[in-house]
Structure 1
């Protein structure tokens, strides 16, 4: 057994990355700056974000919008929190949300303040809990990131770890799918995911990779109650070679042959449920 709780000093050696938001393309083929704000569009996502206390700069409401309970509640919460309320044209909302479905409302949020990889272990240590971290390997769809955040919150994970490159970041799309859970689920970024996983192992955590080509069913893995990092690979390519080499076990979700694979969000939810079940035994 790896004694993670004796290794707090060693976790501090995990590389510290610059804080800031992930870059993503803008309509004019430009890159967003590191500190550019993001936008959450849609009546339910905006209301959920406001109710969850997501840090927000401004609430944009379309002119002559159909004013239902969700819009009224969003305006009320924004006013109570001192968030700027701006009435704009639908064309401007389309531009702000980059053509996403906004239903006449959008919430401007500051660029996400990413944690350091070692912070996630410290969260578990401070709570006197066995660490459970979810790492994403080449998961590029922000909706999958948001869905994984929901599952991670539901099943008691202490945070998500994503690489700085070739990965979805905490964007408006991720916030929308997370249904507000990203307000409490910490996300850390690593300049080198493989190196961060190696540091986690040195700190006493076990690393299990989730891949359709895994050699062991997730329910048969005997490490699920231990300090753990669950690595979720992309739906198409699975785990990268270097990440796979850092795994103590590469596991799979048993399923009918007719279903070749699950998307990353669904697969993470199934795996985290199994981890939570083992930890209750």
Structure 2
């Protein structure tokens, strides 16, 4: 089964990563016989040609359909195979290969593709070794998520699991500390937490936060203090702050 990635960043990073099966590249051109000579589209075409991917230059057609669906393809689309999920063990092996204690991101039934894409973009930026998401009742890696992540997901290891609470239990047995992001006023603030060792950061659902069982399985919880009038931050923003704090805690702000 194939799907259509769109957006210049998502398409370019998919080509650079070269982890999926790639069928063909579609580029919108007012002159179908002439490939772009400069700019981002020319860079994408050059990368596709390097990989010997067929390039189709068209005017309208596919891109008219995408516009009718309110998709901003930015003049480029890539027909690819499904996203290559990995196993949790692969994420731990990536940490070992980097000679670092594991830094993982676990998402407790996050449902909004934009939030998922934003968190994945941050996770890749701070060199998280893997993201773990549940198979059911949660957003999965779709073209919309790849686009929202600016293509970062194409470089990142993502494991899709049946039960995240079982995964949390296994990680704890392997000396990975599990920290949950919570908004309860009684929860200790982020500044008081130690985040410099083997760590899995758990971000909850947009509306309800962490599920009861997941909260109980966390080794400790942290909250982000709020000094303004709003009560909480968006899940993706809050999770991104904790990921940056974890990366800086383990290696210093110059890493």
With the length of structure 2 as denominator, give the TM-score of the two structures: 0.86
1:32-60 Cα deviation digits (max 9, x unpaired):
xxxx3232222343334434545332111
- The answer to whether the aligner puts 1:243 opposite 2:220 as a matched pair is no
How far apart in 1 are the matches of 2:124 and 2:9?
19
Say what the alpha-carbon RMSD is for the aligned residues. 2.3
Flag structure 1 segments of 5+ consecutive residues without an equivalent: 1-35
21, 28, 33: which one pairs with 1:62? 28
How far apart in 1 are the matches of 2:151 and 2:27?
20
How far apart in 1 are the matches of 2:126 and 2:178?
17
41, 65, 76: which one pairs with 1:71? 41
Structure 2 residue matching 1:176: 3-state secondary structure: helix
1:215-235 Cα deviation digits (max 9, x unpaired):
01112112x112111001122
Structure 1 residue matching 2:104: 3-state secondary structure: strand
Is the CA contact 2:27–2:77 (under 8 Å) kept in the aligned structure 1? yes
How far apart in 1 are the matches of 2:11 and 2:152?
13
Which residue of structure 2 aligns with residue 84 of structure 1?
Answer: 54
How far apart in 2 are the matches of 1:242 and 1:115?
25
Which residue of structure 2 aligns with residue 216 of structure 1?
Answer: 188
- The answer to whether the aligner puts 1:37 opposite 2:6 as a matched pair is no
Structure 1 residue matching 2:202: 3-state secondary structure: strand
Structure 2 residue matching 1:216: 3-state secondary structure: coil
How far apart in 1 are the matches of 2:129 and 2:151?
16
Which residue of structure 1 aligns with residue 242 of structure 2?
Answer: 271
Deviation at 1:101, TM superposition (A): 1.3
Counting matched residue pairs gives 245
How far apart in 1 are the matches of 2:64 and 2:135?
28
107, 112, 120: which one pairs with 2:78? 107
How far apart in 2 are the matches of 1:196 and 1:171?
23
Flag structure 2 segments of 5+ consecutive residues without an equivalent: none
How far apart in 2 are the matches of 1:254 and 1:204?
28
